[in-house]
Structure 1
Amino acid sequence: MANSIILTVTGKDRPGLVDDMSAIITQLEGNWLESRITKLSGNFAGIIRVSVPEQNTEQLEADLKAVECESFHLSIELQNSVEADVPVRELSLEIIGPDHPGIIRDISHALAEKKISINEMLTDCNDGAMSSERIFSAEINISIPIAVSVDMLRDKLEDLADQLMVDISMDDLEGTVTRI
């Protein structure tokens, strides 16, 4: 039987970091299943899900911990069970507008109020092309319970877009894009 393990990795980036981790996982008959890895301000940040034979789990944890050092931190969590699937609809949100504190707080709060989960979120902040104003952008993939009305969500996001002075587009991942 195989165990599913979630690795959270942060620290100073260096060439070969992913190679070191993947070699340990493979050596212990593990399988790298999925990951999200990025470089933020010169730092490595990643979350990785691996599968490893039950009898190799402790050795995997020990070997990966041996890679850890002062500038590289690793958290290992054994994934005990998977929650029962609740029927959901996946949507993608794109947000763009003048940057100011609280955009993520307000959007995440509006989604949480409706029991909508954030599956993935990419954010950025850059200087505007035509001005020195900072422009915030986000791409957010969400899961909406089937019981939640997409029209109700659209209305909520429309009100929020007006309050935050941002543009929000909603894509149902089947090709229908709604500009809010």
Structure 2
Amino acid sequence: MQSLVISIMGKDKPGLVDSLAKCVYKHQGNWQGSSFAHMVSMFTGFVEVHVDEDEKQNLIDALDGITDLSVQSVAVASSTDAHATTLTVDVMGNDKTGIVQELTSVLNQFNLNILTFASHCESAPNWGSLIFKAKAEIGVPEDFDDDALQGALEALANDLVVDITAKR
């Protein structure tokens, strides 16, 4: 079996994921996992599929033929890159330009790998401004100092609330 990572993007409308799923099924692909999102009338996401080596190119060609979607696929070797420890980092504070860059810069300074990252802004009740919220899952070494990371993130702004939860 060959692992294939498929990314998609297109103007959102009903049936996009179904078109992708039918294509994968038709070529005997096994849908391993996926993540999709809707943002500003666009639909995007990615899927990991396992497919027999002799069906891989047929599946790739069929994916390229799906209308209404921009599709890219990359064959990858199976990964056993499981982190012994992951941290979930929840961040909330007043929205400002550059906040994502500041957060990711701190994570990079600690040489941490971002496994997932999701963020959004929402109206702050009674304040009339936007609140920034982010959630990241990061892979860390077993002996990582969570407190040092929390301190570095909280030092970015006096209104930033950071909650770190370890999954060992």
* Same fold, judged at TM 0.5 (above): yes
Q: Say which of 133, 139, 142 aligns to 1:137.
A: 133
Provide the aligned C-alpha RMSD in A: 1.7
- Contact residue 114 and residue 148 of structure 1 kept, 8 A: no
How do 1:95-106 and structure 2 match up within 5 A? 95-106=91-102
Q: 1:177 aligns to what?
A: none
Q: Which runs of 5+ in 1 are unaligned?
A: 175-180
Q: Equivalent residue for 2:62?
A: 63
Query: Structure 1 residues 48 and 110 mapped into 2: Cα distance closer, same or farther (>3 Å)?
Result: same
Note if 1:160 corresponds to 2:156. yes
Equivalent position amino acid for 1:113 in 2: Q
Q: Is the aligned partner of 1:127 residue 2:126? A: no
Identity %: 24
Deviations along 1:7-64, one digit per CA (max 9) or x if unpaired, are 1111101111111111111111111101110111111010111011100001001111
TM-score by length of 2: 0.91
Any runs of at least 4 consecutive aligned residues in structure 1 with deviations exceeding 6 A, and if so which? none
Given residue 90 of structure 1, which amino acid in structure 2 is its aligned partner?
Answer: T
Extract unaligned runs of 5+ from structure 2: none
Describe the superposition over 1:98-153 as per-residue Cα deviations: whole angstroms up to 9, x where unpaired. 10011111111111111111111111111111121011111111111224322322
- The structure with higher relative contact order (CA 8 Å, sep 6+) is 2
8 A contact 1:9–1:74 mirrored in 2: yes
Residue 109 of structure 2 corresponds to: 113
- Number of aligned residue pairs: 168
Alpha-carbon distance change, 139 to 85 in structure 1, aligned in 2, over 3 angstroms: same
SS, match of residue 21 in structure 1: helix
